[in-house]
Amino acid sequence: MQLIDKSVIAGKRSGRLALNNSMKWAFFLCTTVGLVVLVTLIVDTLMDAVGYLDWDFLTSFSSARVESAGFYGAVIGSLWLMVVTVPAAIFLSVATALYLEEYAPKNRLTDFIKINVSNLAGVPSVVFGLLGLAIFVRAMAMGNSVLAAGLTLALMILPVIVVSSQEAIRSVPSSVREASIGMGATKWQTVSRIILPAAIPGIITGIILAISRAIGETAPLVVIGVPTTLLVTPDGVLDSFQAMPMQIYAWIKMPQEEFQYLAAAGIIVLLAILLLMNSVAIFIRYKFSQRY
């Protein structure tokens, strides 16, 4: 009877190992397929952009002629846009997450707010564009300015940062909070000097994902009415501007094939700026991870 039990156990164990190996290879296959598709898209886009990606392209404004069309105005406009979007989104999102996790009373209203914040992360971006059009462009008379577009994008990425910040704050052990308060620290001292620094790596992860979405969004900018051709760069947040996604979108719609190559060059520049911004955020996250 004992031998039979051992054989049954051995059979079950071998079955579990076979299932484990099959799932491991299935996950590896899925990862490989995703990487191959991504690399193929990047290489194909880079090959189309090679002949058009030069210094003149980066220092010239948009034009109806292929030989003189550039990406300068769109790059500067997008950088202005991020100057408004990133600080506004980070301040509002982290403050909201801290209030919901550390200060808000634990009741049904708080739970309702948390659920709806999570649901907002899945709302289509064009809805936020309509919200920005109604509030910032028309009600507050900001027009299609950097400030209106930046605040619209900040509202769009706010739920993503709030949810990730809540998870990061929630992951800080409760014993750390209790030890700080037990040593005489106030609630704000505990939050600002203990909880927030420990949660920063997780918060920055959400910020990276949110910025990556914001810098490539087109639908809210289309709804707001951001121009695709503008021969000046903004001097302030109340000026009109161009944006990289809008310029790429405009070039893709052009009937001449050469504009498709310009769009490919614009995509490469957009990816480069996105990777640079993400690299800075990852470096900051790494520094805080080493400290805490």
pLDDT of residue 266: 92
pLDDT digits (tens, 9 = 90+) for 37-51: 999 999 999 998 888
Of residues 287, 279, 103, 265, the one with CA closest to residue 195: 103
Report residue 3's pLDDT band, with 50, 70 and 90 as the boundaries.
very low
Within this chain, do residues 140 and 258 fall inside the same structural domain, yes or no? yes
pLDDT of residue 181: 82
pLDDT of residue 63: 81
Q: Is 66 exposed, middle or buried (0-12, 13-18, 19+ CB in 10 A)?
A: middle
Within this chain, do residues 138 and 32 fall inside the same structural domain, yes or no? no
Last residue of a domain, one of 49, 64, 88: 49
Who's near 157: CB < 8 A, 6+ residues apart? 85, 89, 93, 210, 211, 213, 214
Within this chain, do residues 38 and 102 fall inside the same structural domain, yes or no? no
Last residue of a domain, one of 27, 49, 71: 49
Within this chain, do residues 192 and 232 fall inside the same structural domain, yes or no? yes
Kindly tell me if the per-residue pLDDT of 2 is higher than 50.
no
Q: What is the mean pLDDT of the chain?
A: 87
User: Whole-prediction pTM value?
Assistant: 0.85
Within this chain, do residues 40 and 76 fall inside the same structural domain, yes or no? no
Within this chain, do residues 110 and 139 fall inside the same structural domain, yes or no? yes
Last residue of a domain, one of 49, 68, 86: 49
Within this chain, do residues 72 and 7 fall inside the same structural domain, yes or no? no
Within this chain, do residues 168 and 221 fall inside the same structural domain, yes or no? yes
The domain of 186 spans 55-291
pLDDT of residue 187: 86
pLDDT digits (tens, 9 = 90+) for 185-234: 888 888 888 888 888 888 988 888 888 888 888 889 989 988 887 888 89
Q: Read off the CATH number of the domain in which 236 is found.
A: 1.10.3720.10
Within this chain, do residues 173 and 277 fall inside the same structural domain, yes or no? yes
pLDDT digits (tens, 9 = 90+) for 237-274: 999 999 999 899 889 888 888 888 999 999 999 999 98
Within this chain, do residues 141 and 36 fall inside the same structural domain, yes or no? no
> In angstroms, what CA-CA distances link 264 with 3, 54, 178?
67, 13, 54
Within this chain, do residues 37 and 178 fall inside the same structural domain, yes or no? no
% of the chain beyond a pLDDT of 70: 95
Q: How far apart are CA 191 and CA 5, in angstroms?
A: 56
% of the chain beyond a pLDDT of 90: 34
pLDDT of residue 8: 63
The answer to whether 105 and 173 are in contact (CB under 8 A) is: no
Structure tokens, 117: 């914040």
Within this chain, do residues 142 and 110 fall inside the same structural domain, yes or no? yes
- If DSSP codes are grouped into helix, strand and coil, which group holds residue 233? coil
- The count of structural domains within the chain is 2
Kindly tell me if the per-residue pLDDT of 277 is higher than 50.
yes
pLDDT of residue 173: 85
Backbone angles phi, psi at 173, to 5 degrees: -60, 140
